[in-house]
Amino acid sequence: MKAKRILIADDDATLVRILEVRMRNLGFDTQASHDAMHALTMVHKNPPDLPVIVDVMPAGDGLTVCQTMCLEN
């Protein structure tokens, strides 16, 4: 069974790293981003099964990333 993919997008690098380690230990495949534009690029290349996205980030916001995901799926 293929691991479920989680996108973690937050400008707090420490929080992202903690979540990445925890999710990988639970068997998830993780993708990480520190700004909205990079998160959008990741969504286009390899859509996650679950996004964990903060609302306010540099270069955009989490709401835009989520709206884009909804429109494309």
Domain count, the chain: 1
Cβ neighbourhood burial of 64 (10 Å; 0-12, 13-18, 19+)? middle
Of residues 73 and 24, the one with the higher pLDDT is: 24
CATH number at residue 11: 3.40.50.2300
Q: What is the pLDDT of residues 16-55, one digit of tens each?
A: 999 999 999 999 999 999 888 888 888 889 889 988 888 8
Cβ neighbourhood burial of 57 (10 Å; 0-12, 13-18, 19+)? buried
CB atoms within 10 A of CB 12: 12
Residue 27 is inside which H or E element, if any?
none
Task: Tell me which residue range forms the domain holding 47.
Answer: 5-72
CB atoms within 10 A of CB 5: 17
pTM over 0.85: no
